[in-house]
Amino acid sequence: TTNGVRNKTDKEGLSGGLLAVFVDVTDVRRLESLRRDFVANVSHELRTPVTAVLSAAETMELALGRDPEGAKRFLAIIERNAARLQRLIEDLLDLSRIESRELRLRSERFAFEPFANHLVGMFRERADKKRVAIKLDVAKQVEAEVDRRALEQVVTNLVDNAVKYCPEGSTVTIHAEATTGRERGIRIRVADDGHGIEEKHLGRLFERFYRVDAGRSREMGGTGLGLSIVKHIVEAMGGNIDVTSTVGKGTTFEIKLPDASTRIHERGSTRDLS
């Protein structure tokens, strides 16, 4: 009987244990595989520009003194790739900051039009090169009351994608309007008339490393992190983001952000005083 009891206990223990282990392993495996994918992606993205910097630096050393024009070209390669590395590192740091909830937002009220104008200026060279027009459709009086840097990062990312994935001769439009009522704040749309995205991808677009066409994204210097960072930031700001797209017609990202003061009111006890 002692044996019998022990066996029974063992059996139950075993099956319970097996079940628990099974669940754990599935979770652990999934996380482990996500982590592996992440590391593999990051390594790949880092390796390409680092290799370019090193070989350009080496060749430049040989060209110095003998071929100043050639040396300048290699310097440009170094600069371009270092900038790409910086972007990737910034993306990774952002992601880790957001994941550890270290994103501190400091809201201020500012006019959207000059903000967007400045932002468009940063894209001018790249957009001109690709003959992509960036248009602003924003009334002078539209204001935002959010963290300026966070908004800059969000809109920059969306415009960057539009310029990146649109064919030559496309138009990107940044539209903004005030929203009233309970959702007092700002609604911003970044729209392009490029290739569009098939519907089956839309639901997964904001996932980390999700790319419609991985080869093309990497070739364009993309990390697959941009939209997941955008979504996280927008949500940290109390807003939301949506995408609509029609193949052959283009893609529109729409962000709705509440005014920071509205958010404080909604959370605080003074909410119903007016």
Q: Is 254 in the site for ligand ADP (CB under 6 A)?
A: no
Question: Does residue 224 touch ligand ADP according to CB under 6 A?
Answer: yes
Is residue 162 part of the contact set for ligand ADP (CB under 6 A)? yes
> Hunting for tokens 């430049």 — which residue is that?
60
Of 176 and 230, the one with the shorter C-beta distance to ligand ADP is: 230
Measured between alpha carbons, how far is 87 from 222 in angstroms, rounded to an integer? Answer: 10
**What gap in Å lies between CA 46 and CA 81, rounded to an integer?**
10
Choice between 153 and 262, CB closer to ligand ADP = 153
Q: What are phi and psi of 171, to 5 degrees?
A: -120, 135
Which stretch in 62-70, 131-139, 177-185, 222-230 sits in contact with ligand ADP by CB under 6 A? 222-230
> How far is 132 from 167, CA to CA, in rounded Å?
8
Q: Which residues contact 119 (CB under 8 A, 6 or more apart)?
A: 152, 155, 156, 159, 174
Q: Is 263 a binder of ligand ADP (CB under 6 A)? A: no
Q: Which stretch binds ligand ADP (CB under 6 A): 92-100, 103-111, 139-147, 187-195?
A: 187-195
Contact with ligand ADP (CB under 6 A): which of 84, 173, 193, 222? 222
Please identify, among the stretches 23-31, 130-138, 147-155, 161-169, the one whose residues bind ligand ADP according to the rule CB under 6 A: 161-169
**CA–CA gap between residue 208 and residue 35 (Å, rounded):** 11
